[in-house]
Structure 1
Amino acid sequence: MTGRKSSPGSRNIVVVGETFAASRTPQRVAAMRRLGHTVRTVPTMPPGVDYETAPSLATRLRYRLRVPADPAGANAAILSAACGADILWLETARMIRPSALCRLKSLNPETAIVCYSEDDMMNPRNRTVWLQRSMPLIDLWATTKSLNVRPEERDALKLRNMLFVNNSYDTDIHRPVDVGPADIQTFGAPVSFIGTYEAPRARSVIHLASSGVPVRVWGNGWEKLRGRHENLKIEGRPAYNDEFAKVVAASMVNLCFLRHANRDLQTCRSIELPACGGFMVHERNDEIEALLRDLREAVYFSDDDELLSLCRFWLDQEDRRKSVATNARKRVEALELSHQANISRILGALDGMDR
């Protein structure tokens, strides 16, 4: 890399992304610092804006046109913040212009540009005009979408260097926690789901509720289902960080759905739930089953009827649930699926590249 490292193996990193507490970007920033790196952040959203902030009409229109604005002035900020940096690390930075990256490279030719992505880039809705034009400028594209690293997709995206990494968890946040009767009342349920509304997910939880299985849902966009069934409890808000860990610990069964529009084979929840020591019922596919083995560290379903059957069975298997959940926690530790380990993998790949 460069000769500007503050100590052997450490990097000066500028992270551009969503810096509010509900985002995973602060988790990775904290992991970088725990690894000994010097990190500065450039927020892509103004103060007070987060996932619960309703977008304006202009923001929605620009999203559809794939030309988002730069409400926090991130393009200008990176030119000063990244001066002398070893790495510019982009996360959810869809508004960063290629002109800003070209200017950065002209001022700091040794600065490596890394993009960390949790989205399927073959879906045009995930590629803004700015991001698509910036892709050839990225030195390393790290993705949790294994399909994107196939040669034909990499070439179509005009990405020079790609690295697939599994999803990861925060060692401080995603951990088993003790819950008492009050916590179980506040956060628990026989079956819980934490995540944003999508129609297939709604059909699944309604199928469970209408079949006699109580389900509690945390996340945005579910309000339309309030009162739909007596067995379906809609919280109407997300559960982040410490509350996330409490929901997992207080629930007998934790559901993990995939987003098929994103061609998900695993999601952040796929790793965060077992890291919290939760018993997880997950949509079936070969990739996630290779990480968390069926009936040993997780349980898998292929359709709503199988999901219902599994929930009914496992709700009556307390000892076996605890055993699977304990194994799952040990498995994510053994596979080194923490943010720190993933960051080290990415930086190791960057070191080994011919840029």
Structure 2
Amino acid sequence: MKILYIGDDWIGSNARSLADGFRQAGHDVVVVDSTSVSLPQRFSPNWLYSKIRGQRAPWSVAAVHRRIERAADEFRPDLVFGFKTVHLDQRRLLETPADLHVHYSPDDASNPYNISRQYLEFEHAWDLVVTTKQHNEAELLARGAKATKFVMSAYDPVWHHLSARRSTKRYLVGFVGNYRPDRRDITVALAGRYGEQLLVRGPGWRRVPALRRTHATIGGPAYGEHFSAAIASVAANLVLLNSDNRDTHTCRSFEVPAAGGLFVGERTDEHAALLTEGRECLLFSSEAELHEILRWCERQPDRARTIADAGYRRITTGRHRYVDRAREIVAVLEGRRVDAEPDGYEPVRATSSVDNASSTRGGAL
């Protein structure tokens, strides 16, 4: 297919990775960058307008649509694909000439932060709405969506891979991701307990005074290959979910093990199905259980590394790249069925990660 793809095109963005996934799947893809609307630069006129008026700057929206329309006129796409294009003019998007119009929501499509009034008004007109949240499918259909497709998140081998460390410093525990209020308390508590053994990187963390008062290492965002380098310096890499999105998995669920990091995440059904607890990941349901896991990792670094290696193999030999998700989406559009699970997939019972790791015998660890 000829795909006119509209989404954020900055290096390391999930939108760029999915666009490349469609190209890797054999399609002809032209990208129109919508970052100036979806994520305006801090303190720019576009950003100030959005903060003051509570909506995107109309001149910025108009400029993106002019690029879309020029590209459509020259390219004549079969498919218009919008990656979280909720702040663009929905009527103009849907009137862009193409056989199919598909919208992709990488976050909870019922969270007000991820939608807009105009998007909801036109949601029913998209031929397909793709979501990474299972709970969204019934909600989307109830709102009038024509068709929905659930896909898991993914990783991009270009960015998420085994990486050499960029420092001799090793951390016991680390988290690479955005600051969120629901992540604050657990991160500050870890910093108080583990101090210089903790690495925290991502937007917003430097603005948390309680965290700055600890001995934890706090850094800015780590995108692209910088993410994998950060993961390489940490023994236990936290996968923290976003409660506002009602996450049961996230991009980090794939990116951390794909970068060779030990997956230490919140226990959910999707996490338990993705990786075998105690053999390929370590899961927790409480802060006390997390501390138990970290004490075990500190005492058993070689066994922890073995679990990380097994998680890396499970993710990278499964169908979890963006090209695999692109193929799933295209298969729905073409009326085909694609088995999205990797070979050997089996749901597993949720039990204590450390109990599983401690009771495993022989070469399994």
Corresponding residue of 2:342: none
Partner of 1:269: 252
The answer (yes or no) to whether the contact 2:141–2:148 under 8 Å persists in 1 is: no
Of residues 214, 230, 233, the one that matches 1:230 is 214
CA distance in 2, matches of 1:26, 1:284: 29
Instruction: Give distance in 1, aligned partners of 2:115 and 2:81.
Output: 17
The one of 176, 180, 186 aligned to 1:194? 176
The SS at the match of 1:125 is helix
Deviations 1:118-141 (A, max 9, x none): 111122232112211221111111
Q: Distance in 1 between the 2:237 and 2:120 partners? A: 36
Give 1:174's aligned residue: 160
Q: Out of 10, 25, 33, which is 1:20 matched to? A: 10
Q: 2:186 aligns with which of 187, 204, 213?
A: 204
Q: CA RMSD in A?
A: 2.2
Normalising by structure 1, we get a TM-score of: 0.86
- 2:124 corresponds to which residue? 136
Which consecutive residues of structure 1, in runs of 5 or more, have no partner in the other structure? 1-10
Aligned counterpart in structure 1 of residue 87 of structure 2, from 82, 86, 95: 95
Contact 2:107-2:245 at 8 Å conserved across structures: yes
Contact 1:248-1:273 within 8 A present in 2 as well? yes
TM-score, normalization: structure 2?
A: 0.84
Q: Distance in 2 between matches of 1:22 and 1:51?
A: 16
- Contact 2:201-2:218 within 8 A present in 1 as well: yes
Q: 1:161 aligns with which of 122, 127, 147?
A: 147
Out of 42, 49, 55, the position equivalent to 1:53 is 42
Aligned-partner SS, 1:345:
helix
Helix, strand or coil for the counterpart of 1:311? helix
In structure 2, what is the equivalent of residue 122 of structure 1? 110
Q: Is residue 294 from structure 1 mapped to residue 277 from structure 2 by the alignment? A: yes
CA deviations on 1:212-260 (whole Å, 9 max, x unpaired) are: 352111111112335644332211x100111100111121111110010
Structure 2 equivalent of residue 5 of structure 1:
none
CA distance in 2 between counterparts of 1:51 and 1:132 reads 22
Instruction: Name which of 61, 75, 97 aligns with 2:65.
Output: 75
> What does the per-residue CA deviation read over 1:92-129, in whole Å, with 9 as the maximum and x for residues that have no partner?
2122223203422xxx3x52111121111122232112
Question: Residue 250 of structure 1: which of 230, 233, 243 is its match?
Answer: 233
**Post-superposition CA distance 1:60-115 (Å, at most 9, x none):** 2444xx666461522233223224201111112122223203422xxx3x521111
**SS in structure 2 at match of 1:172:** coil
The Cα of 1:276 is off from its aligned counterpart by 0.8
Aligned to 2:223: 240
Residues 25, 323 of structure 2: 8 Å contact kept: yes
Q: In 2, are the aligned partners of 1:44 and 1:71 still within 8 Å (CA)? A: no
Letter of the structure 2 residue corresponding to residue 59 of structure 1: S
Cα gap change, 1:267 to 1:97, in 2 (>3 Å): same
Cα distance in structure 1, aligned partners of 2:290 and 2:57? 39
Give the 3-state SS of the residue equivalent to 1:220 in structure 2: coil
Tell me how far apart the structure 2 counterparts of residues 70 and 300 of structure 1 sit (CA, whole Å).
47
Aligned-pair identity (%): 28
Q: Separation in 2 of the partners of 1:280 and 1:134?
A: 39
SS at match of 1:267: coil
Residues 193-228 of structure 1 deviation map (CA, whole Å, 9 limit, x = unaligned): 111111231211221222235211111111233564
Given that residues 12 and 86 in structure 1 are in contact (C-alpha distance below 8 angstroms), is that contact kept between their aligned partners in structure 2?
yes
Is 1:17–1:43's contact at 8 Å kept on the other side of the alignment? yes
Post-superposition shift, 1:50? 5.6
Question: How many correspondences in the alignment?
Answer: 329
Deviation digits for residues 271-293 of structure 1 (CA, Å, limit 9, x no counterpart): 10011111011011112111112
Corresponding residue for residue 314 of structure 1: 297
Matched letter for residue 271 of structure 2: I
Name the amino acid aligned to 1:287.
Answer: E
1:210 partner amino acid: G
Contact 1:29/1:39 (<8 A) preserved = yes
Structure-to-structure mapping, 1:102-121, within 5 angstroms: 102-104=94-96, 108=97, 110-121=98-109
DSSP-derived class of the 1:183 partner: coil
CA distance in structure 2 between the aligned counterparts of 1:261 and 1:144, rounded to whole angstroms:
14
Distance 1:327 1:70 in 2: 50
**Runs of at least 5 residues in structure 2 that lack an aligned partner in the other structure:** 337-365
Q: What is the identity, as a one-letter code, of the residue corresponding to 2:81?
A: W
- 1:349, CA displacement in angstroms? 0.6
Structure 1 position 29, deviation (Å):
2.0
